[in-house]
Chain A
Amino acid sequence: MNTQKEVFLQHIRSALLSHKTAPAPLPTDQEYQSARLVNNQADLTDRFIRLAREAKMEVYPVHSPAQLRDELSLLIQRLHLKTILLADDPLLASLAIQTALQTIPHLEIISPSIDSDTLVSAAFTSSAAISAAALALAETGSLVLTAAPYHPRLLSVAPPVHICILPASRLLPDLLDLLNPENFATSHLTLVSSPSKTADIEMTLVYGAHGPITEHLFLLE
């Protein structure tokens, strides 16, 4: 096993040595920074909303936790959702989302953090899931979802409707701000930039290939 590795790397080393010229250095810090597309802190929210909407995400700006709870309840009733997976996220708890949902008649609320088997069967049968975004990106209008004990990976990808809560303070300007070693500490990070989509059949764009058919986003300012 280990010798496999050494033989493999040895081939590469001798291949590299057969070239006379030394490889060029990496770009300088300044050059990396020149790849930055978003600097301006002021219009992050505007840019984020515009791009997310262009990519067919439903964005609802809300200005207080109370407004968030009201609009969320209305959305759930409008979409006739029957069963909802609700992430045990500290943010969602602090916003009292569960209390608000409990007032909706005939709505079954499932906690995903029971055990693996329950999670899998709930994820593939629920009509929607609610989670919080760890971060978001103004450059591309994307949500950043990270795996955690209270946020299983399947939660935000298997049910046909995904509802996400994002405090505006979690917005980052540029990919260069997001992609750094600290943010890679989580075992799984996904940038979500649109509902699941495909154009495989005659280049016709269809939403809802395997992941969520619609993405709903409450942006709490």
Chain B
Amino acid sequence: MIPSHNFKKSIRSALENPHLQNAFEECTTRRTQRVIDSLSQLGDPDSFRYLAQKIREYSIGHLDELLRQLADNLESLGAQVHWAQDARQAREIILDIARRHDCHLCIKSKSMTSEEIELTPTLTAAGIETVETDLGEFILQLDDDRPSHIITPMIHKSRQEVAALFQNKLRSQYTEEPAELTAIARQHLREKFRQADLGIVGVNFAVAQTGSLVVVENEGNARLTISRPPVLIGLMGMEKVIPSPRDLAVLLKLLVRSAVGLPLTSYTNIITGPRKPGELDGPQHLYLVILDNRRSEILAGPYRDLLHCLRCGACLNVCPVYRKIGGHAYGSVYPGPIGIAITPLLDATDRQTEFLPELCSLCGACLDRCPARIDLPHFLIQHRRDLITHRRSSLLYKLILTAWTWFYRSPARYRFSQKWLRRLLLPLARRGWVRHLPPPGFHWTAVRDLPLPKKQLFRDLWKKTDGRLS
């Protein structure tokens, strides 16, 4: 959570930024179309989603056994496994590894988990130059900015901004051409790849049966990170483990299509242990850091299924709220539907995250798209219920909701409430809508319009016409 993050202010500024509006609309629409097209290659994509759900359910249901098996296999391959209870421990473990091997230049390939534990500032403070190597992340790092999407981290930036940034920070010739900008970054980063003595990668899947770490990417920066530095650290949330290679096959077929609308990304890397005798590159020392960071609490409670998430980003692309406000307005590391569902659980220390689940219209679009069939709307309603029942909602709000519930529970009370509500609101309404309520309701109408209850209720209409239209 970003300190003193002000939702309303950041949402308003996102809505008022035309570039942002265009970029998010473009990106999410185009991507969603491509995702739908490529999912259709699966024949019946829903049967794949059921399979994926089964595999994830099994994996989470046997998490302790699978993690033990994974660790045993990694160790017998010559890798070392570390267990981090929270973000601070994870940072300490990684820093300790870096110090032990006397590392000075660290190359990182895209990892949301490393954002979650705020790793880079720690390494930099310890005098270890740490370079993001995914092009988007590299640009964000250069500009001291944050990712706004799980998969495409810098959709919020225009080519003009990148051009000015490169001219300023890399002393390059001014150009707005994406191909030329990419070439400038390539040139700059090649020296870093060549000299790096430490690599850090985010792990997309870990295969318990073989002790393998799987990293998917398009740019080749992860491949270079895995190939070049003599010390490599994989970082993963504990939920990333799956039983066997064939589970990987099923999940990859679905994950990549859902994430980017292609059968596979440019590179799918499967690392099984450090370099072997006779091999000239690859890590001599391989470490895996497994992070809990409240995940075991999630596992114990009613939100367990959220751990099935594959971080594909599909739910972001179809979410009407995300598409309007973009990733930054949420103020959390993980934005969009999955972000507002999981952030309050991962980061319960910060009061502001409790209200994230309100950034949802319950339209259900994410439910239709999630490859792991996670019922996100259900969990968002659960969050709101939690907020009302045992968290810090105002007494008045609770009172209003309790009254509302009471009226809506019986047909007679419902009918009565609609009749009186209409009478009460009629003087305030213009063309069927109430735009401004008097206190205490004015907070509510500040961002919404309230429809005036109709004279004739739907149920009456239904009775009269026997369910037929007009």
| Chain B 299-314 residues near chain A, CB threshold 8 A | 299-301, 304
Cβ of A27 and Cβ of B55 under 8 Å apart?
yes
Known: A176-B246, A193-B266. A185 touches B189 (CB 8 A): no
- In the bound complex, residues from chain A placing their C-beta under 8 Å from that of B270 are 184, 188-190
- In the bound complex, residues from chain A placing their C-beta under 8 Å from that of B134 are 200
Mask for B135-170, Cβ within 8 A of A = 1, else 0?
A: 110010000000000001111011100100000000
| Chain B 178-217 residues near chain A, CB threshold 8 A | 178-179, 181-183, 185-186, 189-190, 193-194, 207, 209-210, 212
- In the bound complex, residues from chain B placing their C-beta under 8 Å from that of A180 are 245-246
User: In the complex, A9 Cα to B51 Cα: how many Å?
Assistant: 27
Cβ of B304 and Cβ of A19 under 8 Å apart?
yes
Cβ of B154 and Cβ of A200 under 8 Å apart?
yes
In addition to A8-B85, A193-B265, A210-B220, 20 A-B residue pairs with Cβ atoms within 8 Å of each other are: A4-B82, A7-B83, A11-B296, A16-B64, A116-B281, A149-B278, A149-B280, A175-B253, A176-B246, A178-B249, A179-B248, A183-B245, A184-B212, A187-B276, A188-B271, A190-B267, A200-B152, A201-B157, A202-B158, A202-B178
Cβ of A153 and Cβ of B227 under 8 Å apart?
yes
B263 shortest CB reach to chain A, Å: 4
Pick the residue among A154, A184, A209, A210 that contacts B272 (CB under 8 A).
A184
Cβ of B207 and Cβ of A184 under 8 Å apart?
yes
Known: A16-B61, A212-B220. A188 touches B226 (CB 8 A): yes
A24 within 8 A of B: yes
A66 within 8 A of B: no
A192 within 8 A of B: yes
| Chain B 280-308 residues near chain A, CB threshold 8 A | 280-282, 290, 292, 296-297, 299-301, 304
B125 shortest CB reach to chain A, Å: 24
| Chain B 241-274 residues near chain A, CB threshold 8 A | 243-250, 252-253, 262-274
User: In the complex, A195 Cα to B51 Cα: how many Å?
Assistant: 31
Cβ of B51 and Cβ of A190 under 8 Å apart?
no
The closest CB in chain B to the CB of A150 belongs to B278
B27 within 8 A of A: yes
Pick the residue among B47, B193, B244 that contacts A210 (CB under 8 A).
B193
- In the bound complex, residues from chain B placing their C-beta under 8 Å from that of A209 are 135, 182, 185-186, 218-221
B48 within 8 A of A: yes
Cβ of A152 and Cβ of B58 under 8 Å apart?
no
* Chain B residue total in the interface (Cβ 8 A): 102
Cβ of B54 and Cβ of A26 under 8 Å apart?
yes
Pick the residue among A37, A119, A189, A211 that contacts B220 (CB under 8 A).
A211
Most chain B beta-carbon neighbours within 10 Å: one of A14, A119, A142, A191: A191
Cβ of A185 and Cβ of B272 under 8 Å apart?
yes
B58 shortest CB reach to chain A, Å: 5
A64 within 8 A of B: no
Mask for B405-428, Cβ within 8 A of A = 1, else 0?
A: 000000000000000000000000
B133 within 8 A of A: yes
- In the bound complex, residues from chain B placing their C-beta under 8 Å from that of A152 are 227, 279-282
A46 shortest CB reach to chain B, Å: 16
Pick the residue among A26, A174, A185 that contacts B58 (CB under 8 A).
A26
Cβ of B42 and Cβ of A37 under 8 Å apart?
yes
- In the bound complex, residues from chain A placing their C-beta under 8 Å from that of B267 are 190-193, 196, 211
The closest CB in chain A to the CB of B30 belongs to A203
B223 within 8 A of A: yes
A-B contact pairs, 17 of them (CB 8 A): A7-B85, A13-B64, A18-B301, A24-B54, A24-B61, A27-B250, A34-B47, A35-B250, A119-B280, A120-B281, A124-B190, A158-B227, A181-B210, A190-B269, A194-B218, A201-B181, A202-B178
Pick the residue among A4, A34, A178, A187 that contacts B275 (CB under 8 A).
A187
The closest CB in chain A to the CB of B163 belongs to A201
User: In the complex, A12 Cα to B68 Cα: how many Å?
Assistant: 11
Cβ of A196 and Cβ of B178 under 8 Å apart?
no
- In the bound complex, residues from chain A placing their C-beta under 8 Å from that of B135 are 198, 200-201, 209-210
B365 within 8 A of A: no
User: In the complex, A142 Cα to B264 Cα: how many Å?
Assistant: 9
Mask for A197-217, Cβ within 8 A of B = 1, else 0?
A: 111111110101111100000
User: In the complex, A9 Cα to B153 Cα: how many Å?
Assistant: 33
Cβ of A120 and Cβ of B228 under 8 Å apart?
yes
A110 shortest CB reach to chain B, Å: 13
Pick the residue among A55, A158, A181, A204 that contacts B224 (CB under 8 A).
A158
Pick the residue among A31, A37, A147, A178 that contacts B282 (CB under 8 A).
A147
Known: A189-B269, A195-B266, A200-B152. A211 touches B83 (CB 8 A): no
Pick the residue among B81, B85, B228, B263 that contacts A139 (CB under 8 A).
B263
A134 within 8 A of B: no
Cβ of A210 and Cβ of B280 under 8 Å apart?
no
Mask for B27-71, Cβ within 8 A of A = 1, else 0?
A: 100100000000001110001100100110110111110011001
Most chain A beta-carbon neighbours within 10 Å: one of B42, B47, B158, B220: B220
Ranked 4 nearest A-B pairs via Cβ: A23-B61, A211-B220, A153-B227, A209-B219
Known: A27-B51, A187-B275. A15 touches B246 (CB 8 A): no
